[in-house]
Every structure is written in structure tokens, then in C-alpha cells.
Amino acid sequence: MTIRKLSLTLLAATGLSLAANAVTAAEFELTYSTTYSPTHPYGQADEEWIERIHAQTDGRVKITPFWGGALINSREGVDELAAGVADIAFIAPIYASSGYDLSRLTPQFFYGYDDALEVLDVYLGLWEDYPQFAEELEGVKVLAYNVGTPMHLMLRDGPFTQISDLQGLRIRSAVDYIGALAAHGAEGVTMPMTDTYPSLQRGVLDGVIAPYEALRSLSFAEVISYYSELPHSRGAYPSRAINANVWDSLPEDIQQVFDDNIEWWTRATFDYAQESEDAGRRYGEEQGVIFNEVDPVVIAEYSEAFVPAARATAEQLDSIGLPGTEILARIRSAIED
């Protein structure tokens, strides 16, 4: 190759490189942190959202994800995000040890709800009408919400059909459900989900309150025989947010793209999670798990045991200047309508 041809080749290669950079260069490069992996249902929704934002801003926004809690811990996510550890993050104020009182405490008011999308609809209505929800997340702007699909009662030795079936059972449970179990003669036990399988296998536990997907993801279908659809709502909560200073630095047209995708990201997260739930139920059926619906009258009787704790929590919120009793009444009236 002659010097001239070599020069032309190098020039052409340089031009292609510059053109490629021009195509991929972004005006705003942001980071996204989550405790989940890209294969988790939440991570799948995140990846699709990142692509949507890039496309809908004509490539002006590039978001680089950091998976598996590489930047931010979920329990302290709001504080770390507000401090600028990441630009955007998965947050879970519902699981914080303190603070974020409305986000953390009001989910327990949804006892008896068996439709996650109804929970979400009521919760988003609360966000519209009570600015205190957003105010307690100072330093961040919410970009999406999560709603947990209901958990139910998995049992080793027999189905749940009436309240007396709970008498004497030891059931792995989240803290919020222990009082209701105790009121009906069962012992609620808190332990890591990773310890639950062997405890069910050995008969140390009689059952566990968990969602359909745990039949497959935690292999519970191997150690339980009955899945009784006694709903335990997990409520809803803000789940993705952007640092407030970063938000303020974005032009209005870019902000509008983010705002326009709040509903999409929220629903995509639910849809991916529901796919996992459906797969878990199918796996349970393949393993011979017996599923049974619970009479609505029995569900209502069971749910009454949540009333005292909910009222106490509402009064606790009232005492610190938050509309706890009003919000409780709003949530209960919605399920009764």
C-alpha cells in the first residue's frame, strides 16, 4: 500500500470513528443504581426503560446501569440518592428502619385487598391528594412506583378453608402479619426466607406466607402441598427516583420525557413481576401443589384482626402531624365501595 493510499485509509477510518462518536455521544450521561440484577423482573423493566429514555430523547440521554447494589443499598436508598451517590436509583423507603413514615407505615392499611392494581390505583390517588408523601422524600423526585402482588398461605399438611385451621400452626411470616396470625391461634415466626425451605422440610414450620413466584424461585413447591389464597397485601411504594439537583439540571423537554414514562415504568414493573407470579403458579401445579380459593366471608373475618394495629399506626401518624386516620379511612372506604 502506498503512503497516499495508507493516508486515505487512515482518514476514512478516522472519519468513521468520529461519525460513530457523533451518533453515540449523549448530552446527558446519567447513572442508575439498583440492588437487583438485569434478569430480575424489576431489572428487566429497568433495562427496557433505559432504552425508552434513550430513544425518546433522540439519544440525548444515556443512562448507565449499576446492578446488584454496586452503588446504593436499598434500605438507605433515598438518603444515598439525595446525597448524589447515583443520579437515578431503585429506592425502597417501605423497608427503611426509620423515617419516611407515610411510605413505610401506610402499606399495612391495605389489609384484605386481593387485587394489586386496585392497591396501586388507591395509592396513587393518595399521592395526588396528600403532598406529605412527596415531602418526606426530600432531595429526590419519584420516577416510578411498585405494587407488590398479594402473598398467600402455603401449608404442608392441609389447606386453609376456615379460621380454625390456623389453630396451633407455626407459620413463617413478615412482621406485619404476626398479630393477625396470633389472634387466630397461630404462631407467626420471622426468619430469613433462605432458612424457610429447610424448616418446612423438617416440619419445624407448618407453612409460610409468600407469593406464587416463591413456589419456583425458592422451591417451596417441593416442601408444601397446599396453596390457600388468603390474601396478604404488600401495599405500594415509590420505587425509582432521581436526585433532585440532577432533575433540576435537565431541560424541560427532557424532564417531560421522564414524566411521560412514570406510568409506563410502574406498569412494566408490575407486568414483569406478574409474569414471574404466573410462572410460579404453573410450576406449583406441575409439582402437584393443590390450590384453593378462600371464601370471602372467611377472608373478611381473618382481616378483622388487622384493625387494631392499623388504627394504632394511624394514631401514631396523627401524633406527628400526618393525616394517618384520614388516610386509613380513605383506603378502607375504597375496598368497601
- Show the cell assigned to 152: 398467600
Mean pLDDT, the chain, whole residue set: 92
Q: Is the pLDDT of residue 77 over 80?
A: yes
What is the pLDDT at residue 162?
97
pLDDT-derived band of residue 26, with 50, 70 and 90 as boundaries? confident
Q: Full-prediction pTM beyond 0.85?
A: yes
Q: Is the pLDDT of residue 12 over 80?
A: no
- CA nearest to 45, candidates 239, 253, 283, 280: 239
Distance CA 85, CA 88 (A): 9
What's the pLDDT tens digit per position in 273-321? 999 999 999 999 999 999 999 999 999 999 999 999 999 999 999 999 9
The stretch 207-220 carries a mean pLDDT of 97
Distance CA 110, CA 77 (A): 24
Handedness of CA 91, 94, 97, 100 (dihedral sign): positive
The residue with cell 396470625 is 181
Contact 65, 46 (CB under 8 A): yes
Distance CA 241, CA 148 (A): 18
What's the pLDDT tens digit per position in 33-59? 999 999 999 999 999 999 999 999 999
Is pLDDT larger for residue 8 or for residue 269?
269
3-state secondary structure of 294: coil
Q: Which residues contact 337 (CB under 8 A, 6 or more apart)?
A: none
The stretch 234-239 carries a mean pLDDT of 94
What's the pLDDT tens digit per position in 155-181? 999 999 999 999 999 999 998 899 999
pLDDT-derived band of residue 152, with 50, 70 and 90 as boundaries? very high
What is the pLDDT at residue 178?
94
What is the pLDDT at residue 6?
36
What is the pLDDT at residue 72?
87
Q: Which residues contact 335 (CB under 8 A, 6 or more apart)?
A: 110, 112, 113, 118
Length of the chain: 337
Contact 335, 114 (CB under 8 A): no
Between β-strands 140-147 and 236-243, what pairing exists: parallel, antiparallel or unpaired?
A: antiparallel
The stretch 205-215 carries a mean pLDDT of 97
3-state secondary structure of 26: coil
**Structural domains in the chain?**
22-147+235-277 (3.40.190.170), 151-233+283-336 (3.40.190.170)
- CA nearest to 109, candidates 292, 273, 314, 322: 314
Distance CA 103, CA 132 (A): 10
Q: Is the pLDDT of residue 24 over 90?
A: no
pLDDT-derived band of residue 18, with 50, 70 and 90 as boundaries? very low
